[in-house]
Amino acid sequence: MMKTIRKPHLFILCFVLFGSSGCAAESTGDEQGSASVELKPSPTTAEEDFTLVVDSTPIDRENPKYLTSYAPVLRPAKEAVVAVHSASVMRVIRQRGMDPREEILRRLFGMPAVPSGQPEVEERKYPEGVGSGVLISAEGYIVTNSHVITGRTGAPADEILVELNDGREFSAVLVGRDPRSDLAVLKIEAEQLPYLKIADSDLLEVGDIVFAIGNPMGIGLTITQGIVSATGRNNLSILGEAGYESFIQTDAPINPGNSGGALVDAYGRLIGINTAILSRSGGSIGLGFAIPTSLAHSIIIDLVHEGEVRRGILGVSIEDLNPEFAEAFEVPEESGAFIQSVGQGLPAEIAGMRGGDVIVSINEERVISAADLRLKVAKYAPGETIEVGIRRGGELLKFRVALADPENPFGEGAQSGLLLRGVEVSVIGEEQRRRFGIDRSLEGLVVTSVESDSPYAEGLVEGMVILEINNVPPRSLKHARSLLEKRGASLFFVYAEGRSGFVSIRVD
């Protein structure tokens, strides 16, 4: 039933008098009651036309479509979330039979050691932390965050204990971890375990109800409710520059210890792995982030099958496509990844791509930005072939590209070894870039060591990058050796200390 409240324009009084009924209106007309009464309506205003509609329908509290509790949905889900405890073992050498207090005094104040026997090794356990995990199979596979099972030295914890919601405890084995996505897979020996179904997080929308389940602050299983605040959050540097970020943002309270726990939808299905919060105080302020299942799915499978994640590379330097570039390069999509340059001898160049191209799709999936391209390419392993759609001069082109291994981008041959007598080189990979501070625009071989008695010590030095040998970029150690002149001098184009130039090397 709907009621309308309206302000009347004219006050009319209806009455009953001496058995007769009628209506009289206030009038300034003839005093003797003329049969014709002139009504003068008041001037109308916007305020007088204002109305409010009130819905007076009572709440039907017996209707099952109005949800009053999420307990039935969350009851099975919470059984699949576990607590994860990790510890590292430190080995301490001390004199057998010596009191530990005496050993401390000896170390601090130089007291002489008591000759009470041979030194012995003592193992001491140090707790690394408490987090959460999610059972994803009845056979005991558990997904959690890599940082939950990583020690303070950066290495995996020596011991991992998993506690189920029913109180059972199991020692867990680390199947594999991927710090770049902050995911890890554990395995416990048990059967017919409860586990969470995995939903497609790509179908999430902002405003969807979600629940964070975990073990915050180590106090025990806790469930908090919120909504999806945003999707595809990246460039937060939560996982560092080399990390792969595409977070679900939620206001469901996530606190320390929730890491590795489940983010589930209103059907109780896993849609994310709780990972991080942004907070000045260290507590939840409604900015929680979870790794979506669309990203975690393939990583989990790789960790279970291979124990690691291998990601292929295109060999391009990219940035986001801005409106100016979109107009200049005639890109109607107005989104994509702009190629600044392509690495010599790397897959993109081999396939025919070049600087100024705009990547708009990978395997028919639209590319939104440079970060989006990086995530899409990372789904494929080295050696896999992908179809790359680009815009060049307003024309849409497609290239088939075989991805390279970032640790050995030029493919064939060994990664490192002797190029010349006393001169060791290595194909430039991530480790070499960090060690020698090599810019990402440089590709080729880096000189890793030069013996002092090498006949080439004056021309080649450690940290020097060999860009070309006899005008050809070396793709591998084997390829570089084949480019050397067997007789006479070979011309090396090198880069060192911010400058590039030519060095003549006569091979003996």
Spatial contact of 158 and 172, defined as CB atoms under 8 Å apart: no
β-strands 465-469, 445-450: how paired? antiparallel
| Catalytic option among 259, 284, 294, 361 | 259
Spatial contact of 242 and 180, defined as CB atoms under 8 Å apart: yes
Which H or E element spans position 475? Answer: none
Closest CA to 145 of 332, 29, 19, 289: 289
Query: Is 372 one of the annotated active-site residues of the chain?
Result: no
CA 230 to chain centre: 14
β-strands 183-187, 141-144: how paired? antiparallel
In terms of C-beta density within 10 A (0-12 exposed, 13-18 middle, 19 or more buried), how is residue 98 classed?
Answer: middle
CA distances in angstroms from 184 to 142, 175, 328, 388, listed in the order given = 8, 8, 44, 30
Which residues fall within 8 angstroms of residue 15, CB to CB, at 6 or more apart? Answer: 21, 22, 23, 24
Distance, CA of 431 to CA of 406 (rounded, Å): 10
Which H or E element spans position 323? Answer: helix 323-328
Which residues fall within 8 angstroms of residue 242, CB to CB, at 6 or more apart? Answer: 180, 430
Q: How many helices and strands in the chain, by DSSP H and E?
A: 9, 29
| Catalytic option among 86, 132, 147, 357 | 147
The encoded tokens of residue 76 equal 């099975």
Distance, CA of 480 to CA of 95 (rounded, Å): 55
CA 137 to chain centre: 23
Strands in 193-322 per DSSP E:
209-214, 222-233, 247-250, 262-265, 270-277, 288-292, 316-320
Which residues fall within 8 angstroms of residue 190, CB to CB, at 6 or more apart? Answer: 140, 168, 170
Distance, CA of 466 to CA of 473 (rounded, Å): 8
CA distances in angstroms from 163 to 167, 213, 239, 245, 336, listed in the order given = 6, 14, 27, 29, 45
- Distance in angstroms between the alpha carbons of the first and the last residue of the chain: 102
CA distances in angstroms from 252 to 199, 263, 287, listed in the order given = 18, 9, 8
Closest CA to 248 of 297, 184, 291, 284: 291
Spatial contact of 144 and 186, defined as CB atoms under 8 Å apart: yes
Query: Is 182 one of the annotated active-site residues of the chain?
Result: yes
| Catalytic option among 178, 182, 251, 265 | 182
Query: Is 508 one of the annotated active-site residues of the chain?
Result: no
Spatial contact of 362 and 388, defined as CB atoms under 8 Å apart: yes
Spatial contact of 190 and 171, defined as CB atoms under 8 Å apart: no
Task: Please list the active-site residues.
Answer: 147, 182, 259
